[in-house]
A and B are shown apart, each in its own frame.
Chain A
Amino acid sequence: MARQTLLFALANVLIPVAILVFATGFFPYKPFMPGLATFEELGWEDKFGWTEAPEPKFDKLVFMVVDALRSDFVYGKESGMEFVQSLIRDGSAIPFTAHATSPTITMPRVKAMTTGSIPSFLDVILNFAESDTSSTLAAQDTWLAQLKAKEGGKLVMYGDDTWLKLFPDFFARADGTSSFFVSDFTEVDNNVTRHVPEELLNTDWNAMIMHYLGLDHIGHKAGPRSPNMTPKQIEMDGIVQQIYQAIENEDHLSNTLFVLCGDHGMNEGGNHGGSAPGETSPALVFMSPKIKKITEFRERESPIDGKGEGGFEFYKKIEQSDIAPTLAGLLGFPVPRNNLGVFIEDFLFFWDDASDRIQLLLRNAKQMKKIVEATFPSLNFEDKVRDIEKECGGSLNSGVGLSCKWQGIVQIMDTTAMLHPKLRMDQIYWFSRAAQEIMSSTASNYDVPRLVLGSSIALVSFGLTLIALWPQLTSISSTGVFSTLTLALYGILMFASSYVEEEHHFWYWITSGWFMYLFIFESRKEWFRKFAFHPAIMLLAIHRIIRRWNQTGQKYAGAPDISHSAFLQGGNSLVLWSLVGATYMDITIRLSRHIARSIAYSTSENSAALSKVAGARDVEPEDTDKDRFMGTLAVLPLGVTAFVFKLAFTARDAPELVQGIGAGMLVFVEGLSLVGVARMVFVGLALSASWLGMVEWKMGRDKRKRGGSGGGGFAPALFDIITLLLITQTRAQNIPLYLLFRLQIFFLTLLSPTPLQTTLTTLLLTHVSFFALGNSNAISSIDLSNSYNGVSGYSILAVGLLVFISNWAGPIYWSLAGLLLLSGATSVSGTAAKVLDEREIAASSRTWVAQEREFLEKVVETESEQAKFLSDRKVEKRAWESWKRHVGLLTLFQAGALVAVMGACTVLRQHLFIWTVFSPKFLYAMAWGVGGHLGVSVLLGGVVWGAGRL
């Protein structure tokens, strides 16, 4: 068996290794060019008479970001932004739809807009780990850095503190707001607006950045059609008007360029992160009275209807990264070094002299050429004319094509023939746009050998687990067949993009089948008279409610579900809170029983008397009424605090869920410090765990002294403590799910499944609960609302852990519940059984030892005689053996799933959906593998299993 342990350990070590190797190949670290760009020599200076860069047209910038400002919010016929529309008609504003690439979340979008580069997908992770210094842009070349480096450059910033994190110590004055409560539609914006009048009078800054979050919050809360949406647009429009009129009237602002844009859009559900047309189509408007100069002959109709899929394409569509080089040209600074954007053609008309226009574009192209050169070091990007007829004929791969297009620029710049300037500009645009497309496409960025290596390591891990489990796998059972079917089907479905998006359907579907299987399996042994109320049928019925709780995935996102139904919201929130209260009560009662048991023990004075009773090796002191009262008294404050925290948190985070609650109560909870209360809950949980752990350990030690076996009561106690933690990290509308989970545990104990069945049930329910709690394989479904519970500053470790717990709460719950089922610990020996429901005791009277014995009789029939007379040490050893098998099977699935996901990402790396479907899935697979499997199933599971053997 030592060999098996070694193989399991190795397989589990290989899982993170595989993930890491694959990730570095899939999300290669993009080296960026350090330092600020300067105006460099272009060549052809004499020919075109260039002595300096083209004269800047503006000297100040107001950059107003409205989070999630989708194109139609500004340009559409239902928009509330009438002033902006009047500017468009008037010719003082040029509108665009700025294409935002996936992932459409704020931090990577700010990076794209400020550096002009296309942020790597790793920025998603960094977005959630915002304080990570390697993700700051302090060392990178951005238009902020360029403006700051100018003579007298001074920046001010108001709004989303993402900017303060990305640009530490950049701003002379700043006031950051964080999107802590999504329900905050007004405060978060008023905190920005209140600085505006004052800053418009200040003459010292050359760039003012504002980032409004309210509109995004409205989207998250109630979608783009929320009744709050138009008033918010009108509010934003008013601010635009205020600023624009200051630019018109104040002398010191007369050369100010005013940019209004969204960082990303939103889908019909009001969320973002993916690449639906709504999410990738934010608005972008350049405004200034001076713009009239170039809009004379333009179409200036507004409002208009959108084109394209979903109708989100208004006016000209440009790339979001084009903002950086355009600002560079208009404000007269060098294009940031890592820029992949192209100067927007419309603004060329500011310069009357064609040679100025050519110079602008050439500077842009030359800067991009440096990146291209670094990417294709073997190709020729010289500024000398050479003969390219041979290498540039026929179809070209991306690198050679770029090299040929660059040579085209060199030739057309060099020629002495009289050419229309348009020809030169077209040639430059031809190169720049091709470079933008090729460099932003991902294909050239994969490190395929690493992808293959990572997948192979996962495959080795799978193989090792298979070898280790092989002796036990050779005897075929129907459960084994069902498990194999699950893994095989899962592996296949990972290659279908729609099943990655709709993964929950797979788990819901196979789990329904599994419960029906359990029904048939049990019916073969014994026919249940009221078969409609058979425990397995009840499991199926509860499963049906659970899968309906939260609508998740892409295809039916936003379809009706229980958690958003009128049944639990608005005036009916009392129903929700009764269910939530019942869940808290259930856990509090359970905890109080654990405590009562521990009090009974510690007050019985070392139970010296007990040990004298002959044959009483497993006897524990009975808990009296007094103990139970004391236990309740000790736990009640914790339960109540946890409940009050949930109420107070929800009152701020989702006020629509507390409408039915009495006003007096709300006033009380709203006065509370959330951080303080959350800390009280966490400390209370830690204290309970340590107290119970200590007593249980002593109890087990005493019993062993008397020759009995260990207690085993700590595992269920720990489970209940962890459940309370999980509920604290769960949104209020999902908390009743834990009641349903508890019911499922109860019905599972009635079934008393075999160990292999328990393992498979655990695997299925961990996944079902993950999706039932509203998660999916999309970035936009990550729940961040509980990530700052009890955290006042920013601690990446604490916040990361809380994010993981709140999103993987279901899997954590079921991993541990599965262990309790496995050990039969829900009905541990002796008085511990009293801790539990009497129904549960009656239902599953089998002790852990008995079940284990039965299990061993099945596995090693030859040992069946000895099994009845096992020594404690042997029981102990066997216990760990069965845990090892459980974890081994879970490892087998995990490694198999990783092989499938990595295989899909490798094979389909050119697939249209690679960035929108498969990459997020890989991120989730990383979290499942490292957090869900190693962290929870192996580590936390090991702790709880060990706790059961104290």
Chain B
Amino acid sequence: MTPTNTVTDLSKGKPSEPPIEILNNETARIYTHIHPVLVLSLYALRFKAIVADPVPALTNTLIPLGVMQIAFAAICLPPTGSEAVVAEKRKPGEKKKPGQGKVASAVNGKVIPAFLSLAISTLAATPILMLTLILFGAPISTHHWHTLLAAAHISLLAVVPLIYVHGVDGEKWREIVACLLPIDEVYGCLIGSVLGAWLGAVPIPLDWDREWQKWPVTIVTGAYIGFAVGKLVGGTLLKGKKIKFE
């Protein structure tokens, strides 16, 4: 594993927390690999319907996608503020929660944050992403629902896991936007989805006259593919690297 052009070892940057690790149990380790397959299958399954009539199809797809993302977060990821649990060896004892019943702990500690992340990303991230899409050239006077739904999909793919693990701390999000965090599976999802959505605009002007070239199918497709690639690469090849700009 050699550092690539834009990525360098952690040691070079300023001290920062380590990358997010998948929870240390069998289910998490297995599901984290199944999850992207499930998400891509869902999209593949819905693709025809989305091409045929994007607005209702994308709306319907949001629900299973949301469920999957909640499941992914709850099963595989450490919730925000629980780094201690993950990196117990490094920061022993910090913020450790008092013992509770196993089920109650799972609900309080995992499912609720997961639902919260879903709500926040839908309410906060989607409008911001929609504005970003418009700044990047999305139609401004028409197709509002299309653009909004595209933004919602990107935010479910990219933002839900991030909010789950990092919360809504401003400083943290500053670092996320400025690409200062070390790459991990969750951050890889964000970078992958966003780059994928951006690259998804390339086929639109081609004169292939295919139905799927219409707005916003390619963007959403790019985001899904980018999500899977980013998650895979972020979790393996580039894990722990920091993005270097100079």
The interface residues of chain B lying within 8 Å CB-to-CB of A516 are 136
**Contact status A544-B135, CB under 8 Å:** yes
List which A131-178 residues lie within 8 A (CB) of chain B: none
Given A523-B177, A524-B180, decide whether A505 and B245 contact each other with a Cβ distance below 8 A.
no
The interface residues of chain A lying within 8 Å CB-to-CB of B180 are 524
Say yes or no: is A366 at the interface (Cβ < 8 Å to chain B).
Answer: no
**Contact status A540-B135, CB under 8 Å:** yes
A521 to B180, CA, bound (A): 10
**Contact status B205-A555, CB under 8 Å:** yes
Say yes or no: is B134 at the interface (Cβ < 8 Å to chain A).
Answer: yes
Q: How distant is B194 from chain A, measured CB to nearest CB, in Å?
A: 9
**Contact status B205-A498, CB under 8 Å:** yes
**Contact status B135-A509, CB under 8 Å:** no
Given A508-B137, A523-B177, A547-B137, decide whether A478 and B205 contact each other with a Cβ distance below 8 A.
no
Q: How distant is A513 from chain B, measured CB to nearest CB, in Å?
A: 6
Q: How distant is A128 from chain B, measured CB to nearest CB, in Å?
A: 28
**Contact status B201-A509, CB under 8 Å:** yes
Say yes or no: is B178 at the interface (Cβ < 8 Å to chain A).
Answer: yes
The interface residues of chain B lying within 8 Å CB-to-CB of A541 are 135
Interface bracket on B:
20 to 34
Most chain B CB inside 10 Å of its own CB: which residue of A477, A496, A509, A537: A509
The interface residues of chain A lying within 8 Å CB-to-CB of B25 are none
Q: Chain A: interface secondary structure?
A: helix
A709 to B105, CA, bound (A): 72
Per-residue CB contact flags for chain A residues 454-496 toward chain B (1 = under 8 Å, else 0) read 0000000000000000000000111001000000000000001
**Contact status B136-A512, CB under 8 Å:** yes
**Contact status B140-A548, CB under 8 Å:** yes
The interface residues of chain B lying within 8 Å CB-to-CB of A537 are 135
**Contact status B178-A520, CB under 8 Å:** yes
Say yes or no: is B174 at the interface (Cβ < 8 Å to chain A).
Answer: yes
Residue in A501, A512, A531 whose beta carbon sits within 8 Å of that of B135 in the complex: A512
Say yes or no: is A527 at the interface (Cβ < 8 Å to chain B).
Answer: yes
**Contact status A477-B246, CB under 8 Å:** yes
**Contact status B178-A524, CB under 8 Å:** yes
Which residue of A is nearest B6, CB measured? A478
**Contact status B174-A527, CB under 8 Å:** yes
A546 to B207, CA, bound (A): 24
Per-residue CB contact flags for chain A residues 242-264 toward chain B (1 = under 8 Å, else 0) read 00000000000000000000000
A548 to B141, CA, bound (A): 11
Q: How distant is B55 from chain A, measured CB to nearest CB, in Å?
A: 21
**Contact status A499-B137, CB under 8 Å:** no
Given A478-B244, A509-B201, A520-B178, decide whether A544 and B206 contact each other with a Cβ distance below 8 A.
no
The interface residues of chain A lying within 8 Å CB-to-CB of B5 are 476, 478, 481
Say yes or no: is B62 at the interface (Cβ < 8 Å to chain A).
Answer: no
List which B117-173 residues lie within 8 A (CB) of chain A: 134-137, 140-141
The interface residues of chain B lying within 8 Å CB-to-CB of A512 are 135-137
Which residue of A is nearest B244, CB measured? A478
Q: How distant is A455 from chain B, measured CB to nearest CB, in Å?
A: 25
Given A478-B6, A512-B136, A547-B137, decide whether A505 and B204 contact each other with a Cβ distance below 8 A.
yes
The interface residues of chain B lying within 8 Å CB-to-CB of A555 are 205, 207
A502 to B205, CA, bound (A): 7
Which residue of B is nearest A541, CB measured? B135
Q: How distant is A1 from chain B, measured CB to nearest CB, in Å?
A: 24
The interface residues of chain B lying within 8 Å CB-to-CB of A476 are 5
Per-residue CB contact flags for chain B residues 205-246 toward chain A (1 = under 8 Å, else 0) read 111100000000000000000000000000000000000111
Say yes or no: is B202 at the interface (Cβ < 8 Å to chain A).
Answer: yes
A697 to B18, CA, bound (A): 59
Q: How distant is A527 from chain B, measured CB to nearest CB, in Å?
A: 5
Say yes or no: is B86 at the interface (Cβ < 8 Å to chain A).
Answer: no
Which residue of B is nearest A477, CB measured? B246
Which residue of A is nearest B177, CB measured? A523
Per-residue CB contact flags for chain B residues 175-194 toward chain A (1 = under 8 Å, else 0) read 00111100000000000000
Say yes or no: is A711 at the interface (Cβ < 8 Å to chain B).
Answer: no
Q: How distant is A501 from chain B, measured CB to nearest CB, in Å?
A: 8
Say yes or no: is B198 at the interface (Cβ < 8 Å to chain A).
Answer: yes
A509 to B205, CA, bound (A): 11
Say yes or no: is A553 at the interface (Cβ < 8 Å to chain B).
Answer: yes
The interface residues of chain A lying within 8 Å CB-to-CB of B174 are 523, 527
A717 to B135, CA, bound (A): 33
Q: Tally A residues with Cβ within 8 Å of B.
A: 31
Which residue of B is nearest A515, CB measured? B135
The interface residues of chain A lying within 8 Å CB-to-CB of B204 are 505
Say yes or no: is A789 at the interface (Cβ < 8 Å to chain B).
Answer: no
Residue in A501, A502, A520 whose beta carbon sits within 8 Å of that of B177 in the complex: A520
Q: How distant is A69 from chain B, measured CB to nearest CB, in Å?
A: 29
Q: How distant is A485 from chain B, measured CB to nearest CB, in Å?
A: 11
A496 to B203, CA, bound (A): 11
The interface residues of chain A lying within 8 Å CB-to-CB of B137 are 508-509, 512, 544, 547
Q: How distant is B2 from chain A, measured CB to nearest CB, in Å?
A: 13
Q: How distant is B159 from chain A, measured CB to nearest CB, in Å?
A: 16
Which residue of A is nearest B202, CB measured? A509
A516 to B136, CA, bound (A): 9
Q: How distant is B18 from chain A, measured CB to nearest CB, in Å?
A: 20
Say yes or no: is A497 at the interface (Cβ < 8 Å to chain B).
Answer: yes
Q: How distant is A465 from chain B, measured CB to nearest CB, in Å?
A: 21
A476 to B7, CA, bound (A): 11
The interface residues of chain A lying within 8 Å CB-to-CB of B206 are 496, 498-499
The interface residues of chain B lying within 8 Å CB-to-CB of A560 are 141
Per-residue CB contact flags for chain A residues 530-541 toward chain B (1 = under 8 Å, else 0) read 010000010011
Given A481-B5, A509-B202, A541-B135, decide whether A520 and B179 contact each other with a Cβ distance below 8 A.
yes
Which residue of B is nearest A554, CB measured? B207
The interface residues of chain A lying within 8 Å CB-to-CB of B177 are 520, 523, 531
**Contact status B205-A505, CB under 8 Å:** yes
A478 to B4, CA, bound (A): 11
The interface residues of chain B lying within 8 Å CB-to-CB of A505 are 201, 204-205
Which residue of B is nearest A476, CB measured? B5
A311 to B174, CA, bound (A): 58
The interface residues of chain A lying within 8 Å CB-to-CB of B179 are 520, 524
A358 to B196, CA, bound (A): 68
A521 to B177, CA, bound (A): 10
**Contact status B134-A478, CB under 8 Å:** no
Which residue of B is nearest A543, CB measured? B135
A729 to B135, CA, bound (A): 30
**Contact status A481-B135, CB under 8 Å:** no
Residue in B140, B201, B245 whose beta carbon sits within 8 Å of that of A524 in the complex: B245
List which A543-575 residues lie within 8 A (CB) of chain B: 544, 547-548, 553, 555, 560
Which residue of A is nearest B246, CB measured? A477
A118 to B206, CA, bound (A): 31
Which residue of B is nearest A521, CB measured? B245
The interface residues of chain B lying within 8 Å CB-to-CB of A497 are 207
Given A477-B245, A527-B178, decide whether A553 and B135 contact each other with a Cβ distance below 8 A.
no
The interface residues of chain B lying within 8 Å CB-to-CB of A478 are 5-6, 244-246
The interface residues of chain A lying within 8 Å CB-to-CB of B201 are 505, 509
The interface residues of chain A lying within 8 Å CB-to-CB of B135 are 512, 537, 540-541, 544
**Contact status A544-B178, CB under 8 Å:** no
List which A219-253 residues lie within 8 A (CB) of chain B: none
Q: How distant is B80 from chain A, measured CB to nearest CB, in Å?
A: 21
Q: How distant is A733 from chain B, measured CB to nearest CB, in Å?
A: 19
The interface residues of chain A lying within 8 Å CB-to-CB of B246 are 477-478
**Contact status B245-A498, CB under 8 Å:** no
Which residue of B is nearest A858, CB measured? B246
Q: How distant is B196 from chain A, measured CB to nearest CB, in Å?
A: 13
**Contact status B178-A481, CB under 8 Å:** no
25 residue pairs bridging A and B, Cβ less than 8 Å apart: A478-B245, A481-B5, A481-B6, A497-B207, A501-B207, A502-B205, A505-B204, A505-B205, A509-B202, A512-B135, A513-B198, A520-B177, A520-B178, A520-B179, A521-B245, A524-B178, A524-B179, A524-B245, A531-B177, A540-B136, A541-B135, A544-B134, A544-B137, A547-B137, A555-B205
3 closest residue pairs by CB, A with B = A498-B207, A502-B205, A523-B178
Since A477-B246, A505-B204 are in contact, a sample of 15 more A-B pairs with Cβ atoms closer than 8 Å, ordered by chain A residue number, is A478-B6, A478-B245, A508-B137, A509-B137, A509-B201, A513-B136, A520-B177, A523-B177, A523-B178, A524-B180, A527-B174, A527-B178, A531-B177, A540-B135, A544-B134
